[in-house]
Amino acid sequence: MTASHTERITAVQDDITTQRVDAIVNAANTSLMGGGGVDGAIHRAAGPGLLAECRTLGGCPTGEARITKGYDLPATWVIHTAGPIWHGGTHGENELLARCYRSCFALAARHAVRTIAFPAISTGIYGFPLERATRIAVTETTRFLADDTEIEEVRFVCFGMETYRVYQAIVTGSA
Ligand code: AR6
């Protein structure tokens, strides 16, 4: 029997590049050519094969996602998504961020992914307010899992204490 969708959502404070899951998500940019933050960390840990494959993809519009192999990472797959840059909240940022999560889940489903780890997309360099972004991440995940029986774990990997605190509160429903 499949665990209820809330039991399948976890939050940890860790580095996403070390996660032993079927797929990790990369908070990339529309070029898919690497960058700073979690994108830089993933490319460094995966090795040059990742960038070589990314070069063949022709970029990724904001809100969409693309999948590559994981190369030297413990994860089999990397799902790259381009989150929205925060421009004050009146430029469709909420919907674009929600679309990132939906696009990632759609690709995960097509590749028989059972365990998937997400970073806090758009909340670093792109400046999306953390609590607002976390609510969107958890809402979209809960919606997806309500109709899905294949995914066993959606792990939110938080890079700092503050991010972890916010995710933990929202995932457990105490905020
Ligand atoms: N593991 C998990 N989370 C991490 C890691 C890590 N190793 N490193 C950073 N984070 P950001 P964005 C967290 O800036 O806001 C890049 O240049 C970080 O603390 O990586 O979507 C891309 O190429 C924050 O909580 O991504 C784009 O140009 C979260 O990951 C741009 O940054 C997201 O922060 C994307 O900006």
pLDDT tens for residues 64-95?
999 999 999 999 999 999 999 999 999 999 99
Please indicate whether residue 14 is annotated as part of the active site: no
Is the Cβ atom of 17 under 6 angstroms away from ligand 1? yes
Q: Where are the alpha helices (DSSP H) in the chain?
A: 37-46, 48-55, 93-110, 130-146, 161-171
Nearest CA to ligand 1 atom 3: 159
Q: Supply the range of the domain harboring residue 110.
A: 5-172
| pTM, to two decimals | 0.97
Read off the CATH number of the domain in which 162 is found: 3.40.220.10
The distance from CA 12 to its chain's CA centroid, rounded to whole angstroms, is 13
Domain count, the chain: 1
- Active-site hit among 39, 72, 147, 148: 39
pLDDT tens for residues 100-159?
999 999 999 999 999 999 999 999 999 999 999 999 999 999 999 999 999 999 999 999
Nearest CA to ligand 1 atom 24: 124
Quote the CA–CA distance of 16 and 7 in Å, as a whole number. Answer: 20
| Residue 4 pLDDT > 70 | no
